[in-house]
Amino acid sequence: MTMLDAGELAEKIQTRFGLGVSGGSEEIDGGTFVVLRPIDLEYPNGFGIVLARTPRLIEASFKADAFTRSLLRHMAEADEEAKTTFSTLAQKAVADGFRVSISVNGNHIDSPGDLPRGDWTKLELDCDKRLGSSKPSQEQYQSLALETASTCFGLVLSLLQVEDVTEVMQGFEAGLPEGAKIQIVVNKYERSPANRAACISHYGPTCQVCSFDFGSFYGQIGQDYIEVHHRVPVSSMGGAYRVDPVTDLVPVCGNCHAMMHRKNPPLSVEELKAQLVNSKKIDLD
């Protein structure tokens, strides 16, 4: 049975999450498996996402390293926002046809919203999905492996509360001497890599306005690349706002993203698409 391409999977997962990811094969319990690891958490203090395949199924499993007590404690102490994100992602995965199994300290968790508090000494998290074709191709295996690994990776990262936060940017103010800069402090907002990846997993890496596909146009260098737009402007989000990666986020190309933000509030996907249809730049068919 042909092995999955670990390097390609790591590269695409890295693009989706915006985090460093390595991919390779490891010997586990007498078998050889593809394992994806976050680069910033070095072995044996991190974790891996282990991928297994059968003739009709791909499974991704969380595997903690030997010295990860602090990692599990951090996940157990995740705040309500992180746990809500975890539950939302798990429910979305099930709706997309994945089976998600969660066990903490040997106890099966029936609902992803019921993660226990207290000391976690063991976490088992498995995601799997069956292939629809009776004779799947290597490309179909690889594609499903990407989606399955993304789902499992996203669930783990949501509890670790890894984030990419925009804090300060430099800009220019009209009326000041040429070259004079002012500092513009923008609202901090947690842009969860897990939510970003779940959005791309749901819609695919294709612009939802003009259907531009970076991979089709640029080849390998553009594979799986896309920007993600917040339907609700980040600046208007309050501290209690909970992002749904499917209804609140949408993948768009850089050009469409820039044009949406030419207006305040930004144009919606539907509004910009209607403008392109009216000007005959795109065809809905």
Question: Is the predicted pLDDT of residue 111 greater than 80, yes or no?
Answer: yes
pLDDT, mean of residues 148-174? 68
pLDDT at 112: 92
Q: What is the pLDDT of residues 241-273, one digit of tens each?
A: 677 888 889 999 999 999 999 988 899 999 999
Question: Is the predicted pLDDT of residue 164 greater than 60, yes or no?
Answer: no
Question: Is the predicted pLDDT of residue 181 greater than 90, yes or no?
Answer: no
Domains of the chain, residue spans: 6-160, 194-278
Question: Is the predicted pLDDT of residue 60 greater than 70, yes or no?
Answer: yes
pLDDT, mean of residues 140-154? 93
Q: What is the pLDDT of residues 234-243, one digit of tens each?
A: 666 655 567 7
Q: What is the pLDDT of residues 33-59, one digit of tens each?
A: 999 999 988 788 889 999 999 888 999
pLDDT band of residue 170 (cuts 50, 70, 90) is: very low
Any bridge partners for residue 230, and if so which?
A: 249
What does the radius of gyration of the chain's CA atoms come to, in whole angstroms? Answer: 21
Say which residue, 262 or 232, is predicted with more confidence. 262
pLDDT at 182: 38
pLDDT at 132: 79
pLDDT cut 90: percent of the chain above it: 49
Question: Is the predicted pLDDT of residue 175 greater than 50, yes or no?
Answer: no
Q: What is the pLDDT of residues 191-222, one digit of tens each?
A: 477 888 888 888 889 999 999 999 999 998 88
Q: Is-cis flag, bond preceding 177, omega within 30?
A: no
Of the CA atoms within 13 Å of residue 108, those in its CB half-sphere come to 4
The C-alpha atoms of residue 89 and residue 81 are separated, in whole angstroms, by 12
pTM over cut 0.95: no
Question: Is the predicted pLDDT of residue 163 greater than 90, yes or no?
Answer: no
The secondary structure of 120-173 as a DSSP string is: -S-EEEEEEEE-SSSS--HHHHHHHHHHHHHHHHHHHHHHHT--B---EEEE--
The C-alpha atoms of residue 282 and residue 279 are separated, in whole angstroms, by 8
